[in-house]
Each structure stands twice: as structure tokens, then as C-alpha cells.
Amino acid sequence: MIYSLTGKILKKSIDWVVLSCAGVGYRVQTPASVSGALPGVGREGTLYTVMNVTENDVSLFGFATEEQQTCFEMLTGVSGVGPKVALAILSVLSPDRIALAISSGDHKALTAANGVGPKLAQRITLELKDKVGKGLVEGVQLSDVTAAAVAGAAPQAIAALVSLGYSQSEAAAVIARLDTSLPVEELIKLALRTMAGGR
């Protein structure tokens, strides 16, 4: 398996990049967020990759970070989630946001991605809740932020905001932007201030 590619960027679009490595141009499919994170055409860049081999096709999928790469592998491990759906999810949500949505049971956040309906979103959150809840996927921590969000006060703060009438996705989105190492009460106060348009 090709773990990563480093080379000159020959071309890039919103959903693919061509990297020249040792004279070979690799066309790599990427989430929409990756193209903007890479340097411009003609400069050197690195992509963390996942190779997908099927009966009729061999495809490379590339990511700006190892967290995105790990998250993609985790998502495609769910029945019914193919590479296109996983790319769509990573195009609209960061790995930390995905982990927070799964750990808090906020399947509605995943429906923001193209091709993800409520049933598939529920299946993803159900199948991955334990993996994300431990903060580990195959021994690789998604990130320190994810671990803190999962182990810390975030789920309690989200539950409190939901009980105050906010939707699960609204609450999770606001909490995801805050420092989840803060006490629950502080998180709730900051979240309420943010939702009210304050600072």
C-alpha cells in the first residue's frame, strides 16, 4: 500500500490533485478541503494516501493530514460507506468534528455531506461510537482535541444545551469550536454566549 506521496504538484482541482513523484504523475482523489490546504501548482506537496482496489478500478485517495487519512479508513470500514461518501463527509467536516458528532450521537451533522441520508448517518454513528469513544482507531489517536472532546466535558455540555432547546447538531458545532478541557459549566456559558452572538 502507498502510505504517502511527496512530489511536485502538476495540477489540482477541487476534488483531485496530480503529484509528480520520481517521474510518475499520480492522480489522487481528495476531499474538497485538501486542495486549498496544499501549496500552489509547481510547488512540492505531500499527501497521505489510501489505495482502493476493486475488480474494475485502482484508485488513490489523498489527504492533507494523517488524521484525515485515518478518519477516511474508519468511515469506509462502515458497511454502506464507500470512498465517495467518505470523501463527501471529509469535504464538509474535519476529523475532530466527525469524531465529536459520532461520540455525541449527533448523526444529523453527518447528513450535511452529499449522499449521506439519515439512515446512513445513524449507521455510521452507531458502528463507530465505540471506536471513537476510546479516542483510538487501530491504535492511532485521531488527535488530542478529539480525545479531549470525547473524554472531557463536551458530551455533558452538548446534552445540557439540547435540554435547553438547541438541536444536537447546533450544540455539537458550537462545543467543537471551544476548549473542551474547560469545566462543563464554563463550556455551557461560552456556548450560550456564542449562540446569542456574544463573544
DSSP alpha helices (H): ranges in the chain?
A: 32-37, 66-76, 83-92, 95-103, 107-110, 118-133, 144-151, 154-163, 168-176, 184-195
Write out the residue limits of the CATH 1.10.150.20 domain(s) in the chain.
67-195
| pLDDT digits 0-9 by tens, 46-55 | 999 999 888 8
| pLDDT digits 0-9 by tens, 148-165 | 444 457 777 777 777 778
List, as one string, the DSSP characters of 77-90: TSTT--HHHHHHHH
Least confident segment among 143-147, 156-160, 166-170, 195-199? 143-147
Q: What is the pTM of this model?
A: 0.68
Which class is 67-195 in CATH?
A: mainly alpha
Q: Give the CATH number of domain 4-64; options: 2.40.50.140, 1.10.1060.10, 2.40.170.20, 3.40.50.10440.
A: 2.40.50.140
Residues contacting 108, CB < 8 A, separation 6+: 118, 121, 167, 168, 169
Is pLDDT above 60 for 4? yes
What percent of the chain shows pLDDT beyond 90? 40
Q: Which residues pair with 63 in a beta bridge?
A: 48
More confident residue, 11 or 188: 11
CA distance 190 to 199: 8
Write out the residue limits of the CATH 2.40.50.140 domain(s) in the chain.
4-64
